[in-house]
Amino acid sequence: MIVHVDPDRCCGAGQCVLAAPEVFDQREDDGTVLLLDPRPPAALAREVADAATACPGGAIRLEEGTPR
């Protein structure tokens, strides 16, 4: 899985961080999404998918790809 984020679509709700804190964080200055790991391990696939689903701004896009 390859994770893409669009900070311009992010509203800073933080749902991604709650779902997958190993993969997402928020910028201190404005609270928008910060991608920590664009190719998370397969063991985190469920959490990352949940984060994408929970994102109210639709700022997270997932692509098929080889995990680490």
Instruction: Please report, for the domain that includes residue 30, its CATH number.
Output: 3.30.70.20
Q: Is residue 49 part of a domain?
A: yes
* Total structural domains within the chain: 1
Q: Give, for all 68 residues of the chain, the pLDDT tens digit.
A: 999 999 999 999 999 999 999 999 999 999 999 999 999 999 999 999 999 999 999 999 999 976 55
CB count in 10 Å sphere of residue 38: 13
Residue 39 lies in a domain: yes
Q: Phi, psi at residue 9, to the nearest 5°? A: -90, -15
In a domain, 68, yes or no: no
Q: Where are the beta strands (DSSP E) in the chain?
A: 2-5, 24-26, 33-35, 60-63
CB atoms within 10 A of CB 54: 15
Range of the domain at 27: 2-63
Q: What are phi and psi of 15, to 5 degrees?
A: -60, -35
Phi/psi of residue 34, nearest 5 degrees: -130, 120
| pLDDT reported for residue 50 | 98
